Amino acid sequence: MTQQNAKPLFVFIAEAVQALHNVQTRQAAGIGSRGDQAGTDWADVWRDRLEQAARDCLPSGSGFDAGCKIDLDGSRADRITIETAFHHMNPAGMYDGWTTHKAILTPVFGSYALRLTGKDRAGIKDYIAETLGAALDARVCYDKGDGTPEGFRVVPAPENARVLFAEGAACLWEAVLDADPTGDARADGWKGAMRRAGQSIGAAGLRSLCVRLAGDLESGWHVAAGAGFDSPFDWEFCPAFAARCVDWEAGRVVPDWLEHCRDIGRADAMQAESV
């Protein structure tokens, strides 16, 4: 497996959309591929690559239950449109309808601006923008596979490797157990909120919520690490994430969860410097 050319996901998407449009322009002019590319339909190849990147690297699960899709026909290098939908839950932990959204990306000084359309049910648009932004900023690289166009894949860059999804879910569930989910639900703070959620959805529901939050947990950990967090993931970061980043009664992270993760990282770094 050969991996190379690491870059943020939003850069890959913009470059790949431009490559797709270049190929389509040449095809419309009757210009075909030459040499070792002859006979390959590169429009199909670039479409497949973009669809694979969206499927594997953009948010999926934790409310993004239908995944995300790049609007290939409506996008260009300087205006990318990503389509998604969010699956809402009511306070009882039951699914309660969808809202549909489009994220429109435009370049701004080497980065991008993100505008989100759709209904802002329960303030969900802030969460969607934060989650999409974290995925788009993550560095990816090219896995050339067997060397054929069909074997090419976009994968997380090695320096962005995350802890195993299952381990993250288990560590978050451990933080919940340490906080005594059967304790006083009238308590202040996250423990009371978590216990009230447990009264509604039960221990199994809380455990399932930890699984749904595992992807956000991993993303937040990398954000915190980038801000200086260097303490244990299981004993230090997971309880802090549970306390500051999760709306337990709503069954999702709070809208400004990534900023809370940065604050956790900064605080940990400052504490380490003071020792």
Which region holds residue 247: left if phi is over 0, alpha if psi is between -120 and 50, else beta? Answer: beta
Predicted confidence (pLDDT) at residue 37 exceeds the cutoff of 90 = no
Average pLDDT over residues 208-237: 86
Predicted pLDDT of residue 112 = 86
Rounded to whole angstroms, the Cα distance separating 119 from 85 reads 11
d(CA 262, CA 258): 6
Q: Which of 162, 104, 109, 107 is nearest to 128 (CA)?
A: 104
Buried b / exposed e across 203-233, counting CB within 10 Å, b at 16+? Answer: eebbbbbbbbbbbbbbbbbbbbbebbbebeb
Residue with the two structure tokens 């451990």:
174
- Compare 202 and 35 and report the one with higher pLDDT: 202
Q: What is the pLDDT of residues 2-34, one digit of tens each?
A: 445 667 898 889 889 988 998 899 888 887 665
The amino acid at residue 125 is K
Question: Tell me, what's the pLDDT at 202?
Answer: 92
Question: Does pTM surpass 0.75?
Answer: no
Most confident of the following: 80-89, 143-152, 164-173: 80-89
Q: Which of 2-6, 33-37, 223-227 has the highest mean pLDDT?
A: 223-227
Q: Which amino acid is at 106?
A: T
The SS3 assignment for 2 reads coil
Q: Are 70 and 54 in contact (CB under 8 A)?
A: yes
Interval 222-234 mean pLDDT: 87
Q: Which of 162, 244, 172 is nearest to 208 (CA)?
A: 172
Q: Looking at the predicted structure, is the pLDDT value of residue 162 above 60?
A: no
Predicted pLDDT at 36: 44
pLDDT at 51 over 60: yes
Both tokens of 213, joined, read 């939050």
The per-residue b/e assignment along 79-91, b for 16 or more CB within 10 angstroms, e otherwise, is ebbbbbbbebbee
Least confident range from 39-48, 50-59, 196-205: namely: 39-48
- pLDDT, position 160: 43
